[in-house]
Structure 1
């Protein structure tokens, strides 16, 4: 029997996002969609399980990265044909790319209701992206750096407004979160801010730990007078501990086999992981948000999808 916990946020719907593929291969978890049709099927099943938002990377049929506008357009079109999920796709983030090049996979589609994206994902800082090898504890690489300087952040915030996309502001650590707060003080940004706290498992030390404490360290920096709806996920780590903390604190959760294989749960699919988050939410008297509820909660233009 499941015991419901009394929460001050009882009744507030939980936006559950899905991270369906990232740059993840299918070993050991086979449930990673690559093609537009596979991604659409995961989106449909994810919405049925309680998801309302999707982050996705373009992939080739054999799992390679595909940054083309045609592939991202096909993904959006297929997903919109079978679901109502809000879309927050990756940019074409190749090393050394200009802002225009990063937007080249999404910008051409923004006037097409069937292929447009709802959010522009903006990484609000720089990071050393090298992963640790869990078998040896040593770094698998030593030179991977993701560069998003302040000028790039400002350009992307401006382009989001021009393209009719809601900024989806990601943060790996407190310096990124401080940058988000600084941008909000320096310019008028659409409220509520949508902030995605990306925690890190043991393999990904660039981010705060994938734990309730890791999330709380981020939340402590948020000004009480700034309207923010925040979402927590974990890259290369199990997000469920932080997910419970997020539900308790009135936040939202993103999860997916693309982020982490979840061997401890038997290598589940992303829709199965959504069901795990939905069960946590219901223990606190919070139901998964429908896509329409998510649109209102996150302040996405209700006319943009029509």
Structure 2
């Protein structure tokens, strides 16, 4: 492993997911709120943002219009790279899942940089942290190989960089298989999503959970990777990622961080930026992130 000291660290933000405002009130829902969080996070050291469309009262909104408004507001406020969620509704076709993003790719002010592609299947049921029992028992997320392939094809057509997510090693092996079987321009961008105790579908939000993923990365496939944690703190794995030359995504949308006093996403970014600097790495600017993650080259093909 090359010495990562001096390599900028991309800090991504997960600003809202499908999270409500109890007990952490710092969850943006409207385009203006998301843009304000984006600008403050950029000032703290972020260079990339993932977000979900929400209604003014926090409901799910997969409309083309809402995503276009969010992106336009963010583009006017900051230069963050954008990796929004697709309309991931059970039973939707690829065309339907892209319906919130694809029409917006035609205009610079509403286009996204990345297409987030989940590279596997998972039981998405959550565990109640108080009782230890499952809250549901029938939530399945289906992303079969044909769907993965079609989404990778559409990413190229739309001028979007694939942002390949992995919950566990089977997903990572699928990513490697795709990279070896088709022309994915390097580097391959991989997002390792770890899970807290509430989310057993993913590797644990720990150093061990991250290392198990990293052990699967072959030498011959150029990868830039970023680690986050859903329903759990990413901070333990974040330090490991920084030391090993990776990148970090964090946000109040992923986890409330009660142990830190329910901070906002910009405050969490500042925490990761301080951690990175202690290990000799500065937060990447969005322009540096473009270069590191291969976005500029792909967007101009």
In structure 2, which of residues 122, 141, 156 is the aligned counterpart of residue 161 of structure 1?
A: 156
CA distance in 1, matches of 2:227, 2:181: 25
Which whole-Å deviations, capped at 9, do the CAs of 1:115-157 have from their partners, x for residues lacking one? 0000000000000000000010000000000000000000000
Query: Residue 226 of structure 1: CA displacement?
Result: 1.0
Query: Residue 8 of structure 1: CA displacement?
Result: 1.9
> Given that residues 113 and 304 in structure 1 are in contact (C-alpha distance below 8 angstroms), is that contact kept between their aligned partners in structure 2?
no
CA distance in 2, matches of 1:156, 1:166: 11
Does residue 1:125 correspond to 2:120, yes or no? Answer: yes
**Structure 1: tracts of 5 or more residues without a match:** 1-6
Counterpart position of 2:48: 53
CA distance in 2, matches of 1:183, 1:165: 17
Counterpart position of 1:290: 285
In structure 2, which of residues 182, 188, 192 is the aligned counterpart of residue 193 of structure 1?
A: 188
Q: List 4+ stretches of structure 1 deviating above 2 A.
A: 301-305
Counterpart position of 1:19: 14
Counterpart position of 1:241: 236
Counterpart position of 1:273: 268
Query: Residue 301 of structure 1: CA displacement?
Result: 2.2
CA distance in 2, matches of 1:37, 1:224: 43
- The TM-score, its normalising length taken from structure 1, stands at 0.96
CA distance in 2, matches of 1:115, 1:191: 25
Q: Superposition pairs for residues 34-49 of structure 1, below 5 Å?
A: 34-49=29-44
Q: How many residues align?
A: 299
Q: Superposition pairs for residues 22-33 of structure 1, below 5 Å?
A: 22-33=17-28
Counterpart position of 1:107: 102
Does residue 1:83 correspond to 2:78, yes or no? Answer: yes
Does residue 1:139 correspond to 2:126, yes or no? Answer: no
Query: Residue 96 of structure 1: CA displacement?
Result: 0.3
Which whole-Å deviations, capped at 9, do the CAs of 1:254-274 have from their partners, x for residues lacking one? 000000000000000000000
Counterpart position of 1:3: none
CA distance in 2, matches of 1:76, 1:188: 29
Which whole-Å deviations, capped at 9, do the CAs of 1:211-239 have from their partners, x for residues lacking one? 01100000000011211000000000000
CA-based RMSD of the aligned residues comes to 1.0
CA distance in 1, matches of 2:292, 2:19: 30
**Structure 2: tracts of 5 or more residues without a match:** none
> Given that residues 14 and 252 in structure 1 are in contact (C-alpha distance below 8 angstroms), is that contact kept between their aligned partners in structure 2?
yes
